[in-house]
Chains A and B, each alone.
Chain A
Amino acid sequence: MNDIQEAVAIGKERSYSIELVNDLDELTRMTVWLHDVAVSQHLHEDIIFSLDLCLNELVANIISYAFPDKNKHEICIKLCLVWDRDYLKVILEDEGIQFDPLDAPEPEKFKSLDKAQIGGLGIALVRKFMDEMHYQRINNCINSLTLIKKLNG
C-alpha cells in the first residue's frame, strides 16, 4: 500500500448501524449484531464487553421507559469506528421522551445488604465502562447519546 492509500485507509471512518424496535426481545438481536461487528473488526474482548454492557443497559432503559404509549417505535444504534484517533464512537438515537442519562443520580453507596437498593445501577455502570458520554436533544424530538470508548488503555 503506498502512502496516499494508507492515509485514506487510516482516516476512514467505518460505521455500522442497526435499527431496533421497543421490545426487550430485541436486545438479543442487538447483542448478536454487536458481536458480529466487533469480531469482524478484531476488537479486544475487553472493549467488546464494555460495549455489550453499555448498549444492553442503555437500550434496555430506552425500551422500558422512553415510550409510555406502548406503540411500536424505532431505536437507531450507529456504531462508528474511527481508526485515526484510536477511539470508538457509539451513537444511540431514539424518539422517546426526553431523557439525559447524565442527569441520573449516582446510586447510593451500599450500607448493608438488608438495606441495599438493588436497582438503578445500569447508568452508573455505563459511566464507569465508557470514557465519555454526551447527550443532546435534537429538534425537541430525538434523544441522541454519543459514547466514546478509547481503544488503547
Chain B
Amino acid sequence: MELKFEELDSSIKKILLEGRMDIAGAEQIDLKFTALTATEKGLVLVDLSGVDFIASIGIRTLLSNAKAVSLKGGKMVICCPPGNVAKVLDTMDINSIVPVFETEKEALSELQAV
C-alpha cells in the first residue's frame, strides 16, 4: 500500500491511501499513519478512493487512528470509498463512530464545521 499526505488549508491533514488494505497492506502503512495521527490535535481526512480492497485488519487501522485523533481532541473522517469498500464499511456500521462520506466536499465541510 501507499500513503500520501498533504496539508490542506485550515489545518486539515489529508491522507490518501492506495492499494489493498489487507494484512500485508496495513502493515506497510501502519507506522506512517500512526505517526500522522498520534502526534498533535488535528483534523484528518482519509481519502479511500484508491483503496480497492479492505479486510477487517484495514478497519482496525482506520478505527485505531480515528481513536488516536479523537483522544487528542481532534476529528477524523473518511471519504470516497469505492463500491465494495463502502459496502464493507457500511456492513460493519463504521459510519456510526467515524463519519464516512461519498465525496471529499462533504467530508471537508464536516471537518470545517468543527
What residues make up the interface of A, taking CB atoms closer than 8 Å to B?
A: 24-25, 27-28, 31, 45-46, 49, 52-53, 56-57, 60, 109-110, 112-114, 116, 118-119, 121-122, 124-125, 128-129
Contact = CB atoms under 8 A, between A and B. Distances in A.
A116 B56 CA distance: 14
B92 A121 contact: yes
Nearest to A55: B55
A131 B57 CA distance: 22
Contacts of A119: 56, 60
Given A113-B70, A118-B67, A125-B55, 14 more contacts: A53-B53, A53-B55, A53-B88, A60-B55, A110-B97, A114-B71, A116-B63, A116-B67, A118-B60, A121-B60, A121-B92, A122-B56, A125-B91, A128-B91
Contacts of A128: 91
Contact of A56 (B55, B70, B91, B98): B55
Interface residues of B, number: 25
15 contacts: A24-B24, A27-B24, A45-B84, A46-B84, A60-B23, A113-B66, A113-B97, A114-B67, A114-B70, A116-B97, A118-B64, A119-B56, A121-B60, A122-B56, A125-B92
Contacts, number: 65
Contacts of B93: 109-110
A118 B59 contact: yes
B96 interface: yes
A32 B60 CA distance: 23
Contact of A113 (B20, B59, B63): B63
Contact of B56 (A24, A27, A109, A121): A121
B22 interface: yes
A28 to B, nearest CB: 6
B96 A125 contact: no
Nearest to B91: A128
Contact of B92 (A25, A57, A124): A124
